Structure 1
Amino acid sequence: MLTIAMPKGRIMNEALSLFQQAGWPVPLQMELDSRKLVVSIPEAGFTLFLAKPMDIPTYVEYGVADLGVAGKDVLMEQARDVYELLDLGISPCRMAVAGKPDWQPDLHPRVATKYPRIAESYFKEQGEQVEIINLHGSVELAPVIGLAERIVDIVSTGQTLRENGLVELGCIAEVTSRLIANKGSYRLKGEAIQELLNQLEQVI
């Protein structure tokens, strides 16, 4: 059995749909008992762990899950010691810098984000000194109320930015979901993992 950590929500449905297309008999999220956090699918040879997206790389790094599906944004932010095996190409979006349309450079600019590691690295590469403010909720609020001049966040359609009077000021990285593996599991269960990889690659 391969244990696979799956993020709850839209990414999970897209990932399970890929697995189905690749010939694996897995249910979609809507067909699963929403109260269960561990789901065994013996006919596919899988056990699924249903978790929050930010926790997926932790489960995989510590080996309680052999594989996981995680967004590139989460992998960039956490820098966990895992193998990134395959770009699944699902849930595309981008990590962007945003702010008000009339934003002007400041001597001591503040940037609000849920991704402090990514933001700090990006602005350091740009040679720009900023103060990073770590938030956990709707970071779009920060420029509106004057907490920060800019934000770093995931942008998909840009609708939330527009509704709050913000615009994209730059793109840090394109983001999709990736299949990741525990390093020990990749050695011990390499044959089963490679079979899954080959099937998914054909579909993608």
Structure 2
Amino acid sequence: MIIGIPKGRILNSFIEFFKKKKIFIKGLNTRKLLLNTNLKKIRILLIKSEDSLMLMKKKLNYCVIGKDIKEEIFDNNYSFKKVNAFKCRLSLISKNNFFAIKNWYLSNKKKIYTKYTNISKKYLSKNSIIKKMNGSVEAAILLGLSDYIIDIVQTGETISENNLFELENIMDIYPLLLYKKYNKILENIF
């Protein structure tokens, strides 16, 4: 069985999560994408979160994604189980100044950069202008492209170091085991 896991925050958390379950991933310090574990029946495929839906449709039976990706791209053809490996949040972030904070509550037309356009459309008013941006979304504020962004916050360190302000928590984010409805869940692991 192959479990797709995105690189980055989710993989780092799952390395520790699996260690507690006595599952050890081999080959993490290589450029391999398909990794073995100490259990012959479990292999790990390192993926990008954005590719998880396509890989699930084509070949994977299990995948770990964040709740943000589920809300952004997945339909109801899959089942999800919450995994207690880490927690963060999707937040509305602004410049750390009185004008930007006050303007959020007074202005109808807002320009927001985010990776999460579908979630943002549900959360924001119809007058908001939502622009897609992957990666360092904070750069949109720092370069003056926007006064607001919607992005993931785990510790708040990036926000603080860039003199930004977290206006609102839109949703809590945590990992989910995604599986096809006909698959039996891996209860003994998750």
Q: Same fold (TM over 0.5)?
A: yes
Three-state SS of the structure 1 residue aligned to 2:93 is: strand
CA distance in 2, matches of 1:19, 1:182: 22
Residue 118 of structure 1 deviates from its aligned partner by: 0.8
CA distance in 2, matches of 1:136, 1:71: 16
Alignment correspondent of 1:95: 90
Judge conservation of contact 1:41–1:47 (CA < 8 Å) in 2: yes
Q: Which has the higher helix share?
A: 1
The gaps in structure 1 that reach 5 residues or longer are none
Alignment correspondent of 1:6: 5
Residue 45 of structure 2 corresponds to residue 49 of structure 1: yes
Identical columns (%): 30
Q: Which runs of 4+ in 1 moved over 6 A?
A: none
Residue 48 of structure 1 deviates from its aligned partner by: 2.0
CA distance in 2, matches of 1:51, 1:162: 30
Residues paired across the two proteins, number: 184
1:66/1:16 CA distance change after superposition, 3 Å = farther
* TM-score for both structures, normalised by structure 2: 0.84
Alignment correspondent of 2:124: 123
Judge conservation of contact 2:5–2:63 (CA < 8 Å) in 1: yes
1:35/1:145 CA distance change after superposition, 3 Å = closer
Residue 33 of structure 1 deviates from its aligned partner by: 5.2
RMSD: 2.2
Judge conservation of contact 1:142–1:151 (CA < 8 Å) in 2: yes
CA distance in 2, matches of 1:37, 1:66: 17
The gaps in structure 2 that reach 5 residues or longer are none
Alignment correspondent of 2:67: 72
Residue 55 of structure 1 deviates from its aligned partner by: 1.8
Alignment correspondent of 1:181: 179
Which of 163, 166, 177 lines up with 2:164 in the alignment? 166
* TM-score for both structures, normalised by structure 1: 0.79
Judge conservation of contact 1:57–1:80 (CA < 8 Å) in 2: no
Residue 70 of structure 1 deviates from its aligned partner by: 0.6
